[in-house]
Homo-oligomer: A and B are copies of this chain.
């Protein structure tokens, strides 16, 4: 094992310097992203095509996302449940648009044990069909409505090109599936959940979004209307951060989901579905990250405060004891940890925890102890504060809020600065060639114009914003065909 030993020894040596190895974001955004994902130990490539392993540090972000979003989902009256991973082919094929949208990208189970299955199964790409088949059985009377169910689950889509968190063969998500008595209630639910997502993404993830309706060609396969949240990544491209679908009665009719209404009439239910996924972690990386690596919003950071004891010779015990004291003082209120490893220098640790995006670093050294203070460093701005020990409770609370607000404001400013109303197709093409930002443009509503824009510029209509930036007038002409414009839309290249 001599050769292998040398190999391992080299790997151990390499650990020392790994913070140095992030590709500059300004040089190669895509490689920077991959470097951050791997070196902050958020995820790793798995030995299965297109799949990732979510490592403990990355999964802890997902657990915080789950906890904070799950609370909101339950506060709005929903309950969690669990439906099977497998969907029989015949069920998937029931809704024509739905199967057309998903069949090309599903994984097929054909054998169980040593036997070929009589009917192939798909590994769920989404669960409308299997859930509708159950709703058809469960829903009988108007008294059973609304049905408000959510599921946290893994789903599989056999994508050709994949990137950790952004597009992987398997990913984790939540999918809400509701059934209502009237169209009005379903519409209200669709928008309610859209607003829950906006609240969560803006107030917990510090990511500003544009919310709007998808065009016919971009909407979910089988939906009447799809609404989405669009966020701007630091390279100017859009990322769809969540969707909420008004399914109308499309699935109800195909899956025969009827109820006896109070007026003794048998009616089809009205449905919605909505979801966010581990993609949100990709958005956090690409919105808040910088040349030093990750920068995490405090609400979902696995570690909110990292203490680095400065263990100068002769002061080790004193410094460790103070660091432990501070950790114990705040560990019930914050996710706080300390890095007491002796094999790494303080400077190495500073880099390491900046790479990992921890919002606040506290440095505790012998001189600080003597002066009854600690040094606090903000991850978002790099700002250093000297804080008296007695002021720590207020300061930690305030600075965590400031980091959240600082991240949000920076992202908001970047989005605003890179959103341009364009007045000619030429201008749109130029903007998209630079790959930077969102374009706002008038559109006639014709899918043919939309398709041409996409083919020629690479940009898609991200949404028809719920809050139109301004009123559309008769002066407004479609950015592509010059016909009368019906609405203003957001366009961008997207992940």
Of A77-85, A366-374, A438-446, A462-470, the segment with at least 4 beta carbons within 8 Å of chain B is: A77-85
Within 8 A of B (CB), among A108-122: 108-114, 121
CB distance from A407 to the nearest CB of B (A): 25
> Which of A60, A109, A130 has the largest number of chain B CB atoms within 10 A?
A109
Of A48-56, A216-224, A352-360, the segment with at least 4 beta carbons within 8 Å of chain B is: A48-56
Chain B residues with CB under 8 Å of A51's CB are 84-86
> Which of A63, A82, A106, A170 has the largest number of chain B CB atoms within 10 A?
A82
CB distance from A122 to the nearest CB of B (A): 10
State the CA gap A46–B49 with chains docked (Å). 30
State the CA gap A48–B86 with chains docked (Å). 7
Contact partner of A60 (CB less than 8 A), chosen from B80, B112, B133, is B80
User: What residue of chain B has the Cβ atom nearest to residue A78's Cβ?
Assistant: B56
Chain B residues with CB under 8 Å of A138's CB are 44
Question: Is A197 located at the chain interface by the 8 A CB criterion?
Answer: no
Question: Is A88 located at the chain interface by the 8 A CB criterion?
Answer: yes
CB distance from A120 to the nearest CB of B (A): 8
> Which of the four size classes fits the interface of chain A?
35 or more
CB distance from A476 to the nearest CB of B (A): 41
Contact partner of A258 (CB less than 8 A), chosen from B8, B47, B81, is B8
CB distance from A97 to the nearest CB of B (A): 18
Contact partner of A107 (CB less than 8 A), chosen from B60, B109, B141, is B109
Chain B residues with CB under 8 Å of A5's CB are 260, 264-266
Q: Give A256-276 as 1s and 0s: 1 = Cβ < 8 Å from B's Cβ atoms.
A: 001110001110000000000
Tell me if B121 and A48 are in contact (CB < 8 A): yes
Tell me if B123 and A113 are in contact (CB < 8 A): no
Chain B residues with CB under 8 Å of A133's CB are 47
Tell me if A82 and B54 are in contact (CB < 8 A): yes
State the CA gap A325–B420 with chains docked (Å). 54
State the CA gap A343–B86 with chains docked (Å). 38
